[in-house]
Every structure is written in C-alpha cells, then in structure tokens.
Amino acid sequence: MKMKKLINCLAVLSLAFGTANDLASQDLSENARAFLNSLSPELRRAAQFPMSDAERENFHFVPLPGRKGPTFHDFDASQKSAALALLRASLSDNGYRKSTEIMGLEEVLIAMGEDYKFPDGSPVRDPLNYHFCIFGEPSPEAAWGWRFEGHHLSLNFTSGKGLLVSSTPSFMGSNPAIVPVGPSRGKQVLKRESTLALDLLGSFSEAQMAKARFSETALKEIVTGRDRDIALLEPMGIGYEELTPTQQAALRELLEVYIGNYIFDFSETFRRKIVDAGLENLYFAWAGGTRWGLPHYYRIQGPMLIIEYDNTQNNANHVHTVVRDLTNDFAEDFLREHYGEEHHD
C-alpha cells in the first residue's frame, strides 16, 4: 500500500515537472532548499552534512543497514513530494523512470520470496529504503552536493555556480533484469543497456570478435567496484576506429543510453567532454557469453570515461551498470579548481 501511494506521487510529479528539456535551466538549489525546509529539525540534521564530510564520497550500491540520511519511511506526504521533486529535477525523464522502476523491483523480489532480514531485524528488500543526503548549503553560488542511494541505486550530484558540474559516479542495477513472474512479468528496466550491446556484438566479424571479446568467462562483478579513486584500466577490446561506420553509430547509440540518464545541460557537457577526449580513443570490450541468458560483461572506456555493465548473478538475470568520470567523479576536478580560485582570491 505504501509503495502504491509512492507510485501515485511519482506520477503526479512527472506531470508537474514536465520533461528533461523543461528542467534544463532549473537551479537544483531551489529544489534542495525546498526539501530541507520541509523537514523537521531532527530529520534535517540527519539529512545534511558539511560539503567536506567524508560521507559525500561513501559510495555503495548493495543492501546495507545503517546508511546515512532519512528515507521515505521517515517522510510525510509533503516531504516525500519535496524529496521526489529534487530527484526529478536532477535526472532526465529516462533516468528518473529507471530510478523509480529500480525501486519498484524491491517489491518483485519480496514477491519472489526474498524476505531476508538484516541483523537488526529490518528488511533487506524494501522499496522505501532509499536515502537522501545533502552536502553543504544549497545555493546558486556555492559548491554543494546531494546523494540518492539504496539497493541498486547510487546517484551522486555536485552543483557549483548554479550549474550541475558532476553526476558521477552513477550506479543503476536491476534484479531481476527481466521480471519472471507476477503482474510485471517481462519488464526489463535496463533493456537498452543490454539489447544494444548484444546487437553490436552480433554485428562483429570473426576478426572483430577476436579483438572485442577478451575472455570467454564473464567478470563476476564490475571492476571499478565502490572504490573512490580508480585508475584508468588497461584499454581492452576493439577500438572505435576498427569499427565500421554502422558499428560506430551503434556504439554511440549505446553510449547515449548512459549519457541520457542525466538532465539535458549536463548530458551536453558530458557528451562534449567525451568527444573532446577523442571518440577514436574509445574501446568496447566484452567478456563471457554472446547471447542473453549466458553470463556476460562489457566495458566502454576512453581517456576520461569508464562505463561497465555486468550480468552474471541469478542465472544471468541480474544487471549492474556504472558510469565513472576518471577526472571528475564527485566533482573532483571542479572542486580543485573552485577551491583553488577561492584560495587565490
């Protein structure tokens, strides 16, 4: 019942806040302040941290007890609306849809019998157990950030000078990848992340496949994990310039699926950054089976970018995806410059 009320609230907000393009010029600080102002003093203390707090870079995407920040369980109706408005303003239509559908998959897992408990007695599967944290004081001038996190979602945002300057690391997962039972049977939240990559792989010649597929066994998990600092992995797979024009277009389309989760202005900035680093420097790498139902893994990598996709658990029906900006995760590059300017001034 609680989840149904939340879904109704999501639908109303989708209509109220319009499309991603409508949100392009919106300053997230207004939404963040509205959210904070809706909270009781106790909830606000639980939700807000200094910008310099180590919690800002505490990156997780598995079920955990004791995560910081209040959840939907703590909110009344108006607080839920304010929280969801902030999430809605921070993502594209597709990004917001995927996020809310990933939350809804918790109910699917419960229906499938996964009613596990943490040691403290709280449920492991819980569609309302997603946490909101604000870092710093939301302002059009100041640097500040916020995080939305729970099972299979970790979305990290940093704003500065009235702009969204970082939306990575961003993690989205889907368990089950394809819902096998119940009224949502056949639903595939991260469908294009899967099908476009398999289609691209299926277009390869034998020689291209030999370069792209670096292992017959899928990697068990995304390589970058939850590490705060990640080095550029060794480029593996097939290079962009070794693809035909049609295959290059297919790889760009797959790349857009991930870039398209972000709000329009940030997507444009991120896309331009990838292009400036050189599309010719992109690599597509594959490990594991070459069709759905077999464990598989792929990676898109460039000089400043790593995108990973892994589908190995639960009989290859459990997807993890992550986007990392090697130069600006958690706005590292922006904040270095920002605080450098303040020190210089």
Same domain, 285 and 250: yes
Rounded distance, CA 51 to CA 134, Å? 8
Q: State mean pLDDT over 325-344.
A: 73
Name the region of 330 (left: φ>0; alpha: ψ -120 to 50; beta: rest).
Answer: left
Residue 255: inside a domain, yes or no?
Answer: yes
> Taking the model in full, what pTM does it have?
0.90
Same domain, 231 and 160: no
Same domain, 141 and 212: no
Domain count of the fold of the chain: 2
Q: State mean pLDDT over 187-197.
A: 98
pLDDT tier at 233, thresholds 50, 70, 90? confident
- Mean pLDDT over each residue of the chain, to the nearest integer: 89
Same domain, 139 and 263: no
Residue at a domain's end among 135, 168, 201: 168
Same domain, 138 and 72: yes
Kindly report which listed range (1-5, 165-169, 230-234, 282-286) carries the lowest average pLDDT score: 1-5
Residue range of the domain that includes 268: 191-327
Kindly report which listed range (24-28, 77-81, 211-215) carries the lowest average pLDDT score: 24-28
Residue at a domain's end among 136, 168, 200: 168
Rounded distance, CA 112 to CA 106, Å? 10
pLDDT at 185: 96
Residue 177: inside a domain, yes or no?
Answer: no
128-151 confidence digits (pLDDT tens): 999 999 999 999 988 999 999 999
3-class state of residue 117 by DSSP: strand
pLDDT at 232: 63
Q: Would the pLDDT of 201 be above 80? A: yes
pLDDT at 14: 39
User: Two tokens at 151?
Assistant: 């099972």
Same domain, 162 and 195: no
Kindly report which listed range (36-50, 194-208, 213-227) carries the lowest average pLDDT score: 213-227
- Going from the C-alpha of 267 to that of each of 22, 43, 67, 242, 270, the distances in angstroms are 14, 32, 29, 26, 5
Residue 343: inside a domain, yes or no?
Answer: no
pLDDT tier at 9, thresholds 50, 70, 90? very low
Same domain, 240 and 96: no
User: Two tokens at 74?
Assistant: 């703590």
Same domain, 19 and 142: yes
